[in-house]
Amino acid sequence: MTSPNILLKAWNLHARKELGQNFLINPAVAEQIALRAHLTPKDVVLEIGAGLGALTTAAAGRVAKVVAVEKDRSLVPLLRAELLAGGWDQVQVIEQDILALDIKAVADAQGRRLVVMGNLPYNISSQVVVKLIESRQWVERAVLMFQKELARRLCAGPGSRTYGRLSVMLQYCADLNLLQDLRADQFHPRPKVDSAVLAIQFKSSIAHPVADEKKMARVVQAAFGQRRKTLRNALSGALLNLDSASAAAALEQSGIDPVRRAETLSVAEFVNLTNTIVNFFQ
Ligand code: SAM
């Protein structure tokens, strides 16, 4: 793999900050991530933001196929040329915004659920997580590189100041495993923050499911939207269409003291609360 610096210069290109372009410098690091992802020859990888192909080729050597999505039109010819030169004909490049991609259509075309990988552009990381949660019927698991703080936030539990909306929604449907940290000097250009690789294994079944996942998302949004308020106050309002007395009653009926705050509730308590609201207060 030619170094990103040299490749970009040769093609008269520059890393674009607005697209979160921080390219992996060291092929050995890409190999390490692919190794820790436990890829198998049957897997089909959907890669988010292939860039210059560092992770793409590390994954391609281990799986049946890589569908590599890249939004930057000016970068795609370079990526295709690199893949052609390396003989990586099991890689299909799609020039598109991942947020607009129909994941179901990709999985259907491959006839199996996908393994999603990527060194994510930081500005869309949270949106990607939400999209994967919503698309998990077609996604078996994901191995993704995040800003270190976001990776920690996704894994945080109740009682932690960083525990929030995405931690609850993701932990509800997936088991998480932090695989490794990566220092900023592993990238060109060097970002201001360190990164971490997180494995997200979507659960095959959920022991205590919510009756309505969209409702749970709104309960969690309302609760953390005003995280310093008591839950009784945070939950009352237009988002859930509950007045203060009904919010208190729903909390009490779920075995939750109405003066607690969102960051103290476990995922299971959010599930109970959502089900109480769906069953008795709508
Ligand atoms: N995978 C490469 C690597 O590890 O060196 C590049 C990673 S770089 C952090 C993120 C890549 O995502 C860039 O190539 C960028 O152009 C691309 N990208 C940014 N926004 C995107 C989007 N909405 N959809 C698809 N790709 C995107």
User: Quick one: angle between helices 267-280 and 244-253, nearest 10?
Assistant: 120
CA of 118, closest atom in ligand 1:
1
Let me know: does 238 contact 218? Beta carbons within 8 Å.
no
Share of the chain above pLDDT 70, in %: 100
The response to whether residue 101 sits with its C-beta less than 6 Å from ligand 1 reads no
Task: List pLDDT tens digits, range 103-137.
Answer: 999 999 999 999 999 999 999 999 999 999 999 99
The response to whether residue 128 sits with its C-beta less than 6 Å from ligand 1 reads no
Task: List pLDDT tens digits, range 24-56.
Answer: 999 999 999 999 999 999 999 999 999 999 999
Nearest to 49 by CA among 87, 5, 9, 15: 15
- Phi-psi sector, 223: left (phi>0), alpha (psi -120 to 50), beta: alpha
Nearest to 50 by CA among 120, 103, 102: 120
The response to whether residue 51 sits with its C-beta less than 6 Å from ligand 1 reads yes
CA of 187, closest atom in ligand 1:
5
Length of the chain: 282
9: Cβ–Cβ under 8 A, 6 or more apart, which residues? none
The helix (run of H) or strand (run of E) holding residue 202 is: strand 195-202
User: Is pLDDT at 183 greater than 80 in this prediction?
Assistant: yes
Nearest to 51 by CA among 2, 100, 87, 89: 2
CA of 217 to the centre of ligand 1 (A): 28
Task: List pLDDT tens digits, range 216-259.
Answer: 999 999 999 988 999 999 999 888 999 999 999 999 999 999 99
Beta bridge partners of 65: 44
pLDDT of residue 36: 96
pLDDT of residue 129: 98
Q: Can you say how many angstroms the Cα of residue 72 is from the centroid of all Cα atoms in its chain?
A: 20
pLDDT of residue 1: 66
- Token pair 């949660």 in the structure block, residue: 133
The response to whether residue 55 sits with its C-beta less than 6 Å from ligand 1 reads yes
Burial class of residue 190 (count of CB atoms within 10 Å of its CB; 0-12, 13-18, 19+): exposed
pLDDT of residue 282: 75
Let me know: does 151 contact 179? Beta carbons within 8 Å.
no
CA of 22 to the centre of ligand 1 (A): 8
pLDDT of residue 248: 97
Q: Structure tokens of 145?
A: 């590189």
Task: List pLDDT tens digits, range 148-165.
Answer: 999 999 999 999 999 999
